[in-house]
Amino acid sequence: GAGVSQSPSNKVTEKGKDVELRCDPISGHTALYWYRQSLGQGLEFLIYFQGNSAPDKSGLPSDRFSAERTGGSVSTLTIQRTQQEDSAVYLCASSLGWGVGLGTDTQYFGPGTRLTVL
Amino acid sequence: SQQGEEDPQALSIQEGENATMNCSYKTSINNLQWYRQNSGRGLVHLILIRSNEREKHSGRLRVTLDTSKKSSSLLITASRAADTASYFCATDFRMAANSKLTFGKGITLSVRP
């Protein structure tokens, strides 16, 4: 079946512009995660959606970052007034989700969006 | 920090040799997972070991977990050039209704043909 998809695969923008990154999770997955990975670094957790619960936004680095998940499926990560330090690969992952009786979850990752802020 | 820490940071071996990578963490976990990443893009899940398990196998992969030492190891046997990638351990510190994986910074494995 289809995996997690993200678009665009690459995005180059100018400092100060807003960008939107999209994630289509695996159908039926109730949990969706956004991570950021800077060059040569590990993954930095940004935000987590689980079903209809309030999202866990504890990883968002500033109020310039926000994310939505509409209809429990597609998610959009928005970065306003981009800065050069926002340049990174943004990874989305989905999983079956908590409480489905499978214990803890395996996360399935998309290919990422490489964001470059000039 | 709850983040898992892998070591070594980089490992270079000859094809056919075994590769051992380690991960240590600081607080109690529900499970520990290993992921692989090629070319800085998406991660691929390799194996999950629960806190009540001590060892798990999947093909050429063997994972151990020692909760008393708060450490895990990933062994890749009979390595191949195609195993060249970054490997991450991720720990699940599930709190309340949230499931959040915390990733280490990764180990860069190079397998020389």
**In chain B, what are the domain boundaries?**
5-112
Q: Match 């968002």 to its residue by tokens.
A: A60
- Closest-CA residue of chain A to B6: A42
The beta-carbon neighbor of A48 closest among B48, B98, B105 is: B98
What is the helix (H) or strand (E) element at residue A68, kind and residue range?
Answer: strand A65-69
Distance from CA of A92 to the nearest CA of B (A): 9
- pLDDT at residue A1 is higher than 60: no
CB contact under 8 A, B88 and A106: no
Measure Cα distances from A59 to B70, B93, B94 in Å: 24, 15, 15
Measure Cα distances from A51 to A30, A31, A96, B30 in Å: 5, 6, 10, 21
Tokens standing for A83?
């800065």
Residues B28-67 pLDDT 10s: 888 899 999 987 678 999 999 988 999 999 999 999 999 9
* Architecture of the domain made up of B5-112: Sandwich (2.60)
- A89 touching chain B per CB within 8 A: yes
Taking CB atoms and an 8 Å cutoff, what residues of chain A touch B88? 42-43
In whole angstroms, give the CA distance from residue B110 to residue B113: 10
- pLDDT at residue A117 is higher than 80: yes
The beta-carbon neighbor of A53 closest among B3, B44, B97 is: B97
Residues A44-101 pLDDT 10s: 999 989 888 888 898 999 999 999 998 879 999 999 999 999 999 999 999 887 654 4
Residue boundaries of the structural domains of chain A: 5-117
Is the domain spanning A5-117 CATH 3.30.230.10? The answer is no
Strands A88-95, A31-37: pairing kind: antiparallel
